């Protein structure tokens, strides 16, 4: 009986540790997005607040949301590359997310990185890169 109890305790402890290590496979949106603003990046650590584009049209926001939802966690090290753009995602509840974007060339993947959490890097497909290039340029 004691051995069964110890095995169960060990099993649930292992499950707890494994659960704590898991990372979201896609980018999380906190609420309904109200606007997305884009600026040229000045590097890691903060957002450049000199936005050259701001989108609040439902159609464009939906395209960005679809791209965010189709990201995948990657182990790729992006710290050697300077981000191309900074993106401010503003939600209807006034919360915000800051993102760095390393925009790939046409036909290449791109990378999203949360500002202040440069260890979590998310990649998007070459098709998403092509959409991003059309929306941003």
- Residue 64 belongs to domain spanning: 26-136
Question: Does residue 5 belong to any structural domain of this protein?
Answer: no
Instruction: Indicate the number of domains in the chain.
Output: 1
Can you spell out the DSSP letters for 27-94? Answer: PPP-S-EEEEEEEE---TTS-----SEEE--HHHHHHHHHHHHT-EEE----TTS--SEEEEEEETTS
Question: Does residue 101 belong to any structural domain of this protein?
Answer: yes
Residue 47 belongs to domain with CATH number: 2.60.40.4400
Question: Does residue 53 belong to any structural domain of this protein?
Answer: yes
Among candidate residues 118, 18, 116, 129, the one with its CA nearest the CA of residue 74: 118
Question: Does residue 17 belong to any structural domain of this protein?
Answer: no
Question: Does residue 2 belong to any structural domain of this protein?
Answer: no
The 10s digit of each residue's pLDDT in 93-131 is 988 889 999 999 998 999 998 888 888 889 999 999 999
Question: Does residue 3 belong to any structural domain of this protein?
Answer: no
Residue 85 clears pLDDT 90, i.e. is over it: yes
């Amino acid at each position: 009986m004691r051995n069964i109890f110890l095995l169960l305790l060990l099993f649930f402890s292992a499950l707890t540790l494994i659960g704590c290590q898991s990372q979201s496979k896609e980018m999380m949106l906190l609420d309904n997005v109200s606007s997305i603003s884009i600026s040229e990046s000045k590097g890691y650590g903060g957002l450049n607040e000199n936005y050259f584009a701001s989108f609040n049209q439902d159609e464009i926001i939906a395209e960005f949301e679809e791209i965010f939802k189709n990201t995948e966690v990657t182990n790729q090290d992006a710290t050697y590359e300077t981000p191309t753009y900074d993106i401010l995602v503003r939600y209807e509840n006034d919360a915000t997310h800051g993102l760095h974007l390393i925009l790939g060339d046409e036909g290449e993947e791109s990378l999203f990185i949360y500002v202040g959490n440069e260890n979590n890097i998310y990649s998007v497909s070459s098709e998403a890169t092509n959409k991003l290039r059309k929306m941003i340029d």
